[in-house]
């Protein structure tokens, strides 16, 4: 996110039209929701807090379009002036963020991580970080989430839009109002339609790229161009504003990180933001008065800087240690303090003085500063490698931080992720191929089911292991997941299994205690059709990527105790599942009993980690786990069996 929508004061202040304090308040709501979501705070309220980005897109579309419209109608629009304002608005605080990220990357990161920061800085400066992150995105790419500049993707979306939109709007003003309205609405409809269509086949592209996000900025433009019907009645304005704010709040509460987004799921928050802005333009509504309180206005003023600093602060602290809830609260306070400083002494100084220089001096200064940043960023990975001597075995472990598990887990064919999120993507012929000369075992679940198949195929070649898995998909007869999960589970449990004679099913997922009731229900249902039902318990999890924790334990950053970073709550879940399924005809396998028998296995031969992230097996790890399974697991009576 970040954008003109994250301005200190609206661009409109310098363009002689009415300042809207309620919009600063709306900015405050948006940026705090994003911070709460990223920091994992108040999840019951802000599970969909990421839609704050969409609210900002609408605000940005409104303010920038209002600026351009005012100047066009006054016959004084200048591309040079427009883009200079953008540079003055965005660049100084962004350069400060780059510098901070370079410094802390040198102090805390490994060379391959610093290299991603280097690439992120360069792509951000070129307004293409959204394209870069889209190419990097993947179901298992933890490095992307640990990138301190990940949040700059939305800045690139906006700047790509504003490279084209001023000229486009200037051209539209050659035509009458009805034609302008028709074209803007058509552009908005096309972009929204594209977003709705692509989100089901390539969710990453729908999230990051301009074609599927442009409609959100156009929503703000529609308000600024007064295409919407005028609200001539105060009561109607009050209802429209309140209704819009309710739509935004509902998006915060009802959406989750597993929701299919953006697409249609982004419509309520965008329409809600438009309604709040539109109603506030008629009169000072009660909602507008609340949004205009001093604290809200202040958070709105610093919202751009707050957005820029909050994510790097969280990422770099998380390298030091996994933040507790109190840590997260303290980091919010720290981020607000840094943002306040950056707004006062960087944003304001370069926008209003004393560093508001002439156009030529400003452009030369910004260009020179960015050139220095790029130069330092280019040498950053080498500097980290040369200055901090990393043991060779730690370097090898770190190569697994960007482990490609897609082929191993049959991603996109038998294991559905955001890049293939509907049932049509599931390759039934390959994934459910029943063989007459082997016993057929169907593996069902999420990624923690998919990572088992490779090892089972290698260790038990006399069995045919099939796979039906989807991201964040807990096996259940109830619809607990997203669209791809529910569709796949309904097909497998209600269509496929009842008509097929399988020799067994293996259920595995990222279980929680709350899954016991549904798992019991599922086991009783499956026992009507299948004699052998195997449940693999929760995997051993860590509070960070295992390769990095192992590297920290033997390198300059740490000397840490890896076992101290194990998520012990999963052991309790394991015990509860073991007890809760003990009276059912189910074979239960405790992963904790196998991997953590006396001491947890973390590294295999040749410095190969057992797991490549918080809990998924490497190929070698999958094989190791399969070799530790009871030899009679897939044969004999279906009685409860624990561990090894």
pLDDT at 559: 65
For the chain, give percent helix, strand, coil, nearest 5. 65, 5, 30
pLDDT at 131: 97
**Would you say how long the chain is, in residues?**
644
pLDDT at 210: 97
Q: Mean pLDDT, to the nearest integer, of 596-605?
A: 92
pLDDT in tens, 304-324: 999 999 999 999 999 888 888
Nearest-angstrom CA–CA distance, 315 and 323: 10
Nearest-angstrom CA–CA distance, 606 and 272: 56
Specify the range with the lowest mean pLDDT, choosing from 356-365, 400-409, 604-613: 356-365
pLDDT at 641: 39
pLDDT at 5: 41
Model confidence at 638: pLDDT above 50: no
Q: Mean pLDDT, to the nearest integer, of 261-276?
A: 96
Percent of the chain with pLDDT over 70: 94
Nearest-angstrom CA–CA distance, 600 and 188: 54
pLDDT in tens, 557-594: 556 789 989 999 999 999 999 999 999 999 999 999 99
Nearest-angstrom CA–CA distance, 216 and 56: 9
Which residue in 507, 470, 506, 464 sits closest to 485, CA to CA?
Answer: 470
**How are beta strands 533-536 and 587-589 bridged, if at all?**
parallel
**In 603-628, which positions are buried (b, 16+ CB within 10 angstroms) versus exposed (e)?**
beeebbbbbbbbbbbbbbbbbbbbeb
Model confidence at 555: pLDDT above 70: yes
**In 19-48, which positions are buried (b, 16+ CB within 10 angstroms) versus exposed (e)?**
ebbbbbbbbbbbbbbbbbbbbebeeeebbb
Task: State CA 329 to chain mean position distance.
Answer: 21
Model confidence at 3: pLDDT above 90: no
Check: CB of residue 363 under 8 Å from CB of residue 84.
Answer: yes
Predicted confidence band at 7 (pLDDT cuts at 50, 70, 90)? very low
Burial class, 639, CB count within 10 angstroms (exposed 0-12 / middle 13-18 / buried 19+): exposed
pLDDT in tens, 461-477: 999 999 999 998 999 99
Check: CB of residue 609 under 8 Å from CB of residue 603.
Answer: yes
pLDDT in tens, 43-74: 888 999 999 999 999 999 999 999 999 999 99
Task: State CA 463 to chain mean position distance.
Answer: 38
Predicted confidence band at 459 (pLDDT cuts at 50, 70, 90)? very high
**How are beta strands 603-604 and 608-609 bridged, if at all?**
antiparallel
Residues 6+ apart with CB under 8 A from 542: 549, 562, 565, 566, 567, 611, 614, 615
Which two structure tokens, joined as six digits, stand for 205?
A: 């592209």
Which two structure tokens, joined as six digits, stand for 342?
A: 């950056």
Model confidence at 2: pLDDT above 80: no
Which residue in 268, 288, 270 sits closest to 221, CA to CA?
Answer: 270
Nearest-angstrom CA–CA distance, 507 and 475: 7
- In order, the DSSP letters of 213-273 are THHHHHHHHHHHTT-SPP---HHHHHHHHHHHHHHHHHHHHH--TTS--SGGGGHHHHHHH
């Amino acid at each position: 996110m970040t954008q003109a929508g994250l301005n200190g004061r609206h661009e409109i202040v310098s363009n002689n039209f009415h300042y809207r304090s309620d919009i600063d308040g709306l900015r405050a709501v948006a940026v705090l929701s994003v911070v709460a979501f990223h920091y994992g705070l108040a999840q019951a309220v802000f599970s969909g807090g990421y839609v704050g980005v969409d609210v900002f897109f609408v605000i940005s579309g409104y303010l920038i379009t209002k600026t351009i419209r005012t100047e066009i109608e006054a016959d004084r629009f200048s591309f040079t002036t427009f883009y200079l304002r953008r540079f003055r608005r965005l660049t100084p605080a962004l350069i400060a963020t780059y510098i901070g990220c370079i410094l802390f990357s040198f102090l805390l990161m490994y060379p391959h991580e610093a290299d991603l920061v280097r690439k992120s800085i360069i792509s951000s400066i070129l307004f293409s970080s959204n394209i870069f992150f889209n190419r990097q995105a993947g179901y298992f790419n933890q490095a992307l989430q640990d990138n301190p500049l990940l949040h700059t993707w939305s800045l690139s979306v906006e700047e790509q839009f504003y490279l084209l939109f001023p000229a486009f709007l200037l051209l539209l003003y050659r035509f009458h109002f009805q034609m302008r309205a028709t074209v803007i609405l058509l552009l908005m409809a096309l972009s929204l339609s594209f977003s709705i269509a692509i989100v089901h086949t390539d969710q990453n592209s729908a999230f990051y790229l301009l074609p599927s996000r442009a409609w959100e900025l156009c929503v703000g433009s529609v308000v600024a161009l007064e295409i919407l019907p005028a609200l001539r009645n105060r009561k109607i304005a009050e209802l429209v504003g309140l209704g819009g704010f309710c739509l935004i709040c509902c998006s915060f509460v009802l959406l989750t990180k597993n929701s299919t987004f953006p697409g249609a799921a982004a419509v309520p928050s965008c329409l809600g933001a438009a309604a709040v802005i539109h109603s506030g333009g008629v009169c000072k509504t009660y909602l507008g008065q609340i949004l205009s309180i001093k604290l809200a206005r202040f958070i709105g003023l610093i919202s751009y800087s707050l957005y820029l600093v909050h994510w790097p602060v969280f990422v770099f602290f998380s390298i030091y240690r996994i933040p507790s809830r109190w840590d997260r609260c303290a980091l919010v306070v720290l981020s607000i303090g840094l943002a306040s400083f950056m707004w006062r002494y960087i944003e304001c100084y370069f926008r209003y003085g004393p560093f508001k220089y002439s156009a030529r001096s400003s452009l030369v200064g910004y260009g020179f500063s960015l050139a220095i940043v790029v130069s330092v960023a280019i040498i950053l990975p080498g500097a980290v490698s040369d200055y901090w001597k990393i043991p060779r075995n730690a370097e090898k472990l770190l190569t697994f931080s960007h482990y490609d598990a897609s082929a191993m887990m049959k991603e996109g064919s038998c294991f559905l992720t955001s890049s293939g999120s509907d049932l049509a993507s599931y390759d039934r012929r390959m994934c459910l191929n029943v063989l007459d000369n082997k016993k057929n075992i169907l593996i069902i679940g999420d990624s923690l089911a998919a990572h088992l198949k490779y090892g089972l195929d290698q260790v038990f070649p006399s069995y045919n292991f099939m796979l039906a898995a989807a991201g964040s998909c807990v096996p259940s007869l109830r619809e607990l997941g997203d669209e791809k999960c529910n569709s796949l589970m309904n097909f497998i449990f209600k269509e496929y299994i009842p008509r097929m004679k399988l020799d067994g099913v293996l259920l595995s997922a990222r279980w929680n205690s709350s899954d016991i009731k549904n798992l019991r229900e599922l086991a009783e249902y499956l026992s009507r059709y299948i004699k052998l039902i195997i449940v693999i318990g929760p995997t051993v999890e860590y509070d960070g990527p295992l390769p990095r924790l192992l590297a920290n334990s033997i390198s300059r950053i740490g000397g840490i105790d890896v076992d101290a970073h194990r998520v012990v709550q999963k052991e309790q879940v394991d015990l509860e599942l073991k007890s809760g399924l003990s009276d059912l005809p189910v074979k239960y396998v405790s992963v904790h009993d196998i991997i953590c028998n006396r001491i947890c296995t973390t590294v295999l031969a040749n410095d190969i980690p057992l797991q490549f992230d918080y809990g998924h097996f490497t190929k070698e790890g999958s094989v190791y786990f399969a070799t530790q399974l009871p030899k009679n697991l897939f044969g004999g009576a279906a009685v409860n069996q624990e561990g090894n």
